[in-house]
Homo-oligomer: A and B are copies of this chain.
């Protein structure tokens, strides 16, 4: 049914993931994945009712069977449609706690969500991206990083191990799949994002929170780069952020 190429975005709540989906929906049919359908239903409706094409699939990135099943649904629904872009953006695995109070379960969630989640997603997305050569833009796989991707702060052992692992995976995939024509990028989001959950957080300066739509524009820009000029890593932060 779809004639446009596909973009799949994993990790879609009311924030960055939704903005990325809206941005990529201007050019592609988008499929959004989230554990809880309530996270994507309003977004899917919004995109479909405003001229775009969106499909939501309930999936748990930490569960390989769930991710495979989601990509099987995509294959059925969009048979023969190339995958132009895949974005890994789930927020899970965050626990802020003194190390000696951190349970094994809490610690592991950082890697389960950010490391193994990205593994599961990339395993299903990369074979499709490899086949998607010849579109307007090189097929693209983007991972969302955080401050904790490059700094292991006190009390952040769970999240930082997950985000460091995700960055290692992104580097490894960029070096393996770049020469095969797939553009792999890692975006470090360094600051608080302006989403419903953070609405009440106030700062000394105005505009002190990252705009998810502006983040989405950077993801789109990375996607449009030709293979001569692939960007790997970009760090984004508000103008008043300390770093």
Contacts and interface: CB of A to CB of B under 8 A. Distances in A.
A171 interface: yes
Interface stretch (A28-36, A50-58, A154-162): A154-162
Given A165-B161, A172-B99, A173-B99, A207 B228 contact: yes
Interface of A: 64, 98-100, 104, 107-108, 111, 115-116, 119-120, 122-123, 126-127, 138, 148, 151-157, 160-173, 175-179, 181, 183, 194, 205, 207-211, 214-215, 217-218, 221, 224-241, 243
A141 to B, nearest CB: 11
Main secondary structure on A side of the interface with B: helix
B104 A116 contact: yes
Contact of A172 (B64, B153, B233, B236): B153
Contacts of A232: 235, 237
Given A116-B104, A168-B152, A172-B160, A233 B235 contact: yes
A211 B126 CA distance: 25
A172 B232 CA distance: 23
26 contacts: A98-B176, A104-B120, A111-B116, A111-B165, A119-B157, A152-B168, A153-B171, A154-B175, A160-B172, A161-B169, A162-B165, A164-B167, A178-B240, A179-B205, A183-B239, A207-B227, A207-B228, A210-B229, A214-B226, A214-B228, A214-B229, A218-B231, A228-B238, A229-B236, A229-B237, A232-B235
Contact of A100 (B123, B179, B241): B123
**Which of A107, A183, A221 is the most central at the interface, judged by chain B CB atoms within 10 Å of its CB?**
A221
Contacts of A64: 104
